[in-house]
């Protein structure tokens, strides 16, 4: 078999590539950059809501492979079915396929600084299982999770989306969503909601112990926390929500009350009261760590996320 060299890629029989509609624009930009580089100028195309190299633009177009992937994901997500006795697990494959169709319409298609494709799927399925009457999220960023919650929930669900800075927001939501530029706890005290059918999602990089304690004070039973890294992995996050829930369950380090680490050349220091970890652990009735789904999909697994059922 004879290989044909084209630019920096070796073409071979058995693989055909059809250029995207953006290739002409990229071609012109490359030609202009070659000319402009001679005078020290470079053209850069940038959009904060679209990144055509992100995972949002990489997927199978073969239905048979999509269904096979959905079957594998269903098996991996089986532990989530314990969230509700009323959930029909036979619907899982349809929900998985529904999600992957949904994200093609997402107004935010960029990796980094958000939950990503796979964690978005876990949130979507969790809402379908729990069927909450109210969803409260703290940490909105561009609004991708708001987009997921909005489309996964019923038309009667109320969604309260909190962030201390809503400037990066790209998804404005439907009439179910209310955006609030503030911390969640004090404001939520003034809102009427049915606590036992409310789902809280915390992706705000504030101490999980604090957030779990606050949710418990409001009678909320269902919580999902992002960035739930165990103690030995804290250094992978530049702003971890320490103490994390996982730290509360780590018996080997329960007496440790301070920590220091380096990320990207920056020194970080954390401290907490050991008794707070014990009290937080007592509030937890059930904890489910979401599977990464990397083996099933090949997308980057994103940060560690966990479902917490409070007593």
Count CB atoms within 10 A of the CB of residue 260: 11
More confident position, 3 or 148? 148
In the DSSP assignment, the letter for residue 80 is G
Same domain assignment for residues 96 and 168: yes
What is the spatial distance between Cα 272 and Cα 101, in angstroms, rounded to a whole number? Answer: 43
Q: What is the pLDDT of residues 186-208, one digit of tens each?
A: 999 999 999 999 999 999 999 99
Same domain assignment for residues 141 and 260: yes
Same domain assignment for residues 115 and 143: yes
Positive or negative, the CA dihedral 298, 303, 304, 307 is: negative
> Is 50 domain-assigned?
no
- Residue 275 sits in a domain whose CATH number is 3.40.50.150
- Rg of the chain taking only CA atoms, in angstroms: 22
Same domain assignment for residues 142 and 112: yes
Please give the residue range of the domain that contains residue 31: 4-39
| pLDDT for position 39 | 77
Count CB atoms within 10 A of the CB of residue 219: 12
Distance of CA 152 to the CA centre of its chain: 14
Same domain assignment for residues 14 and 126: no
More confident position, 107 or 43? 107
């Amino acid at each position: 078999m004879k290989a044909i060299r084209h630019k920096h890629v070796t073409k071979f029989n058995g693989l055909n590539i059809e250029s995207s509609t953006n290739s002409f624009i990229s071609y012109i930009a490359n030609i202009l950059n070659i000319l402009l580089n001679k005078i020290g100028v470079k053209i850069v195309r940038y959009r904060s809501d679209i990144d055509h190299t992100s995972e949002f633009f990489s997927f199978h177009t073969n239905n048979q492979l999509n269904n096979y992937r959905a079957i594998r994901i269903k098996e991996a997500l089986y532990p989530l079915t314990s969230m509700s006795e009323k959930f029909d697990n036979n619907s899982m494959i349809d929900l998985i396929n529904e999600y992957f169709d949904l994200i093609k319409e997402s107004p935010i298609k960029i990796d980094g600084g958000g939950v990503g494709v796979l964690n978005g799927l876990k949130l979507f399925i969790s809402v379908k299982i729990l069927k909450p009457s109210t969803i409260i999220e703290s940490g909105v960023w561009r609004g991708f999770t708001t987009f997921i919650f909005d489309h996964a929930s019923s038309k009667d669900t109320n969604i309260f989306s909190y962030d201390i800075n809503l400037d990066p927001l790209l998804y404005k939501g439907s009439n179910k969503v209310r955006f609030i530029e503030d911390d969640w706890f004090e404001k939520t005290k003034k809102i009427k909601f049915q606590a036992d059918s409310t789902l809280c999602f915390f992706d705000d990089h504030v101490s999980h112990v604090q957030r779990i304690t606050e949710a418990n004070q409001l009678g909320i039973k269902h919580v999902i926390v992002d960035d739930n890294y165990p103690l030995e992995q804290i250094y992978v996050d530049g702003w971890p929500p320490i103490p994390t829930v996982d730290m509360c369950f780590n018996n080997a380090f329960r007496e440790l009350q301070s920590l220091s680490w380096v990320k990207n050349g920056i020194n970080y220091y954390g401290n907490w009261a050991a008794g707070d970890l014990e009290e937080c652990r007592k509030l937890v009735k059930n904890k489910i760590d979401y599977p990464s789904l990397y083996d099933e999909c090949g997308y980057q697994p994103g940060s560690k996320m966990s479902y917490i059922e409070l007593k």
